[in-house]
Structure 1
Amino acid sequence: MRRIYIAFSVIGLFVILIASSCSSTKETVAISDDEKMAFRQKEGDTVKIASDDTEYEIIIIEPGFNFWLQSVARPRNFYTQSYMENRNNIFVTNYNQRVMQPFQYDPNLYELQINYNPHTDYGYEVNYKLYNYFIYFQRKYNQRLGPFVPRI
């Protein structure tokens, strides 16, 4: 009888651990007044992401992004290029997967795939603006494109 009790206790503990790990513990991210102002903008900003050193460019049409980039985002050279490349690779992969699943993810948010090759050197400026766009996108639309909370 004692063995059954011990086995039941271990199974009960295991069930409790699984149940507690499955519960949603969503971290809330504080949003500043400047960020709220950027999120409320309705007119489209057009931000051209290009590097003088490379032939690559991205055009982002998103209301408030340019204001957010100038007033809220970390300044240039805060992150290393390799840090942003690693994060951009994760963000692009998850973003593109969501584009391919329009019945599961909002097709108005995930419209077109992003052609980002992790083995291509896009330069600092392209990676900086793309990284910050993903942070902006995740914070504005309450999305998670990676295993980490999008912070500024």
Structure 2
Amino acid sequence: MRFLSFIIILGLIYSCNTTKKLGDDKSPKAYLEHPAEDSTVYELIVLDPGYETFLLSQAQPINFYSNNYYQTWNVRYVAEWNLRHSDALRYGDFYETRINYDALEDYDIELNYRLYNYFLFIEKRYGIVLINRGRTP
């Protein structure tokens, strides 16, 4: 599947970040860019035009759950995503990018909310279950 490039930039703006050259999109990608040492800006870049629409359709407001809740799930989702990314022979090239998420880093609730919903988006849009949460699809 080919997707149009769509970039979402979020985070508090305290400094400038460099841009990244992006190529053809054959599968959805998410990047979590870490800031320079003296910066507190984090970016979540999602390259899938359906993500923003999905995010807007979510019934829960950003503060429905705590930042800790989102972070706990994100640690699990990112670990599974990166495992699949590192084993392309088994899982294919769908997990083309590695997500750099540090469990010890204090990301704000907005970034954690958006990343959490990215994983829910992948599950709903592509029917991929990253973590079995005991729900039926």
Structure 2: which amino acid aligns with 1:64?
G
Structure 2: which amino acid aligns with 1:127?
N
Determine the C-alpha separation between the residues in 1 that align with 2:43 and 2:87: 26
How many percent of aligned residue pairs carry the same amino acid? 33
1:115 is the counterpart of 2:100: yes
Q: Normalising to structure 1: TM-score of the pair?
A: 0.64
SS at match of 2:90: coil
Indicate the residue corresponding to 1:31 in structure 2: none
SS at match of 2:61: coil
CA deviation string 1:23-67 (max 9, x = no partner)? xxxxxxxxxxxxxxxxxxx64432223235831112111121001
Determine the C-alpha separation between the residues in 1 that align with 2:78 and 2:6: 21
Indicate the residue corresponding to 1:81 in structure 2: 67
> Structure 2 regions of 5+ residues with no counterpart?
15-39
Indicate the residue corresponding to 1:104 in structure 2: 90
Which protein has the larger Cα radius of gyration, Structure 1 or Structure 2?
Answer: 1
* Conserved 8 A contact 2:4-2:47: no
Higher relative contact order (CA 8 A, sep 6+): 2
1:141 is the counterpart of 2:126: yes
Determine the C-alpha separation between the residues in 2 that align with 1:70 and 1:87: 20
Structure 2: which amino acid aligns with 1:58?
L
Determine the C-alpha separation between the residues in 1 that align with 2:82 and 2:111: 18
Structure 2: which amino acid aligns with 1:61?
L
Question: Which structure shows the bigger proportion of residues in helix conformation?
Answer: 1
Decide which of 119, 124, 147 is 2:109's aligned counterpart: 124
Indicate the residue corresponding to 2:8 in structure 1: 47
Count, aligned residues: 109
Which is worse superposed, 119-128 or 46-55? 46-55
Root mean square deviation, CA, Å: 2.1
> Structure 1 regions of 5+ residues with no counterpart?
1-41
